Amino acid sequence: MPSPAPPNPHRAALAQYRRRASVYDVELALFEPVRRAAIARLALKPGDTVLDAGCGTGLSLAQLHAAVGPRGRIVGVEQSPEMLARARECVKQHRWRNVTLIQASAEDAVIEHEADAVLFHFTHDILREPMALANVMRALRPGASVVACGLQWASPWAWPLNLLVLGAALHSVSSLAGLDRPWSLLAGSLDDLQVESLMAGGVFLAHGTLRP
């Protein structure tokens, strides 16, 4: 008798985003200023190739497209079919020809373009999974711009804010582990790492360049 298939390690996350896909864009509206700040830190130039790791419904695509222009390229990686279907619809509506969307987990995605930059926007699960991070970082050229942002624990005295962080995290990540320094696994690969706190400390914005 064939042995049963091993359980998918992403099963919970896939179910979470299957449920959220139809309302996701509304839920994220509050964080638009963070997205703008994160994309600005990428310092993209016309013609650049940028990865959008865990691109979700494609909320970053328009701003990334405006920054790299029609000669640039955007590569989105996303494991949730329901989230990615919305990103595909967005690409179709805008008739963008320079956006490649890959449906795969970040650890398994085959990324064929060498990239000048990568955005991890509210992708805690990817940031805390070394194999996923390594696979995405392998697609970058030396000196590439790396930007990550998302939820973090604020100072312990800011416990009302931390209740909000907890509520949002339970809604969007597979594990609370690492929420004190979500960027820490990136730190060893980056030069000039800077970490900013936004939204009263409940959100981090980390950026640096890939060490050659």
Q: What is the number of other CB atoms lying within 10 angstroms of the CB of residue 47? A: 12
Cβ at position 55, least distance to ligand SAM in Å: 6
The rounded distance, in Å, linking the Cα atoms of 115 and 145 is 9
172 contacts: CB under 8 Å, gap ≥ 6: 16, 20, 122, 124, 151
Q: Which of 49, 60, 145, 152 binds ligand SAM (CB under 6 A)?
A: 60
Task: Give 139's DSSP letter.
Answer: T
Q: Which of 78, 86, 137, 204 binds ligand SAM (CB under 6 A)?
A: 78
Q: Which of 44, 75, 90, 122 binds ligand SAM (CB under 6 A)?
A: 122
DSSP 73-101: EEEEEES-HHHHHHHHHHHHHHT-SSEEE
Q: Does 79 bind ligand SAM (CB under 6 A)?
A: yes
Q: Does 123 bind ligand SAM (CB under 6 A)?
A: yes
The residue of the chain with the least Cβ separation from ligand SAM equals 56
Interaction site with ligand SAM (CB under 6 A): 10, 13, 17, 28, 54-56, 59-60, 77-80, 83, 105-106, 121-123, 125-126, 129, 132, 172
